Amino acid sequence: MTPLLAGLAGSLVAVGLFLAVVGFRRSAVTPPPPAAAKRRPRRLATSGWARWQWPVAGAAGLVTWAVSGWPVAGAVVTATIVGLPVLFATGTVAARRIGRVEAIEEWTRRLSDILVAGVGLEQALTASLRTCPPALRAEVTALVARLSARWPTEQALRAFADDVDDAAADLVVAALVLASRRRGPGLARVLTAVADSVAEDVAVRRKVEAERAKPRTTARAVTLITLGAVALGALNGTYLSPYAGPLGQLVLAVIATAFIGCLAWMRALTLSPPEPRFLTDRGVARS
């Protein structure tokens, strides 16, 4: 019983060290706009595997602990099942962000083409739904619905900016808000210029993402090789026998925590935070 308690204590110490490292990485947290906060749970509507990921990981960790008698091994198995999908999905998250900005640029150009025909702003926004890119269809649909419900144009546009929740969309919405106030000519040219600026931003992001893909690939390869070596070593009783005692469990916990911390740090370095927005919904009545 004493070795088991010692191993459990070592695991708790390792978890504490990892949480301390995460806690020292202070970052300014900007509260999301109300619309984005309400929309996030729907966007994060998880698939079947995502809902069962933690129960499966916990069960696998308990089984590993029971079979091997090593609590740290159970914690490592749990962290592997939960963490590997996050590590492998880093590039997908970045590509999704870039694709969303590209959809904003494409929608802006199409809206500019509609305005060239001489229709009003509200009619052009409604007509843009037919050719809207799929990545932006839900937000544009909500915008058209608000306009159909007789929302003031500026209020509907600000709500649209909150729904998209992206700095690139703020550029477009700012131009549209000014146009809704002044109702003068030249909006199509302004939107084309804004779309060009967003297109340049997309090109820069793609170049940066191509460079960041290299260390991500290296980290994935190192992780898989390490896990494979550990799995093969587990089949050989003498290879991991030095970690069987309480001190060995503590050392193993520290090594595993350091390895996981390095992977988390690498992921944070290769995943750019969203650009801060400048157009926020302040003092605008919402219904």
The pLDDT of residue 25? 47
The pLDDT of residue 127? 92
Q: Which percentage of the chain shows pLDDT scores above 90?
A: 20
Mean pLDDT of 18-34: 44
The pLDDT of residue 28? 39
223-263 pLDDT per residue, tens: 888 888 878 877 776 777 888 888 888 988 898 888 888 88
Mean pLDDT of 71-94: 81
Position 142 pLDDT exceeds 90? yes
Phi first, then psi: give them for residue 184, nearest 5 degrees.
-105, 175
Q: What's the per-residue H, E or C state across the chain?
A: CHHHHHHHHHHHHHHHHHHHHHHHCCCCCCCCCHHHHHHHHHHCCCCHHHHHHHHHHHHHHHHHHHHHCCHHHHHHHHHHHHHHHHHHCHHHHHHHHHHHHHHHHHHHHHHHHHHHCCCCHHHHHHHHHHHCCHHHHHHHHHHHHHHHCCCCHHHHHHHHHHHHCCHHHHHHHHHHHHHHHHCCCCHHHHHHHHHHHHHHHHHHHHHHHHHHHHHHHHHHHHHHHHHHHHHHHHHCCCCCHHHCCHHHHHHHHHHHHHHHHHHHHHHHHHCCCCCCCCCCCCCCCCC
Mean pLDDT of 80-95: 78
168-215 pLDDT per residue, tens: 889 899 999 988 888 777 888 899 999 998 899 889 888 888 888 887
Mean pLDDT of 138-155: 93
The pLDDT of residue 281? 52
The pLDDT of residue 56? 85
Mean pLDDT of 130-141: 91
Q: What is the mean pLDDT of the chain?
A: 78
Cα separation, 197 vs 207, in Å, equals 16
Query: Mean pLDDT lowest for which of 52-56, 111-115, 168-172, 252-256?
Result: 52-56
Do residues 271 and 94 touch, judged by C-beta distance below 8 A?
A: yes
Mean pLDDT of 56-81: 86
The pLDDT of residue 147? 93
206-227 core/surface letters (b: 16 or more CB in 10 A; e: else): eeebeebeeebeebbeebeeee
Residue count (the chain): 287
User: How confident is residue 49, by pLDDT bands cut at 50, 70 and 90?
Assistant: low
User: How confident is residue 5, by pLDDT bands cut at 50, 70 and 90?
Assistant: very low
The pLDDT of residue 237? 67
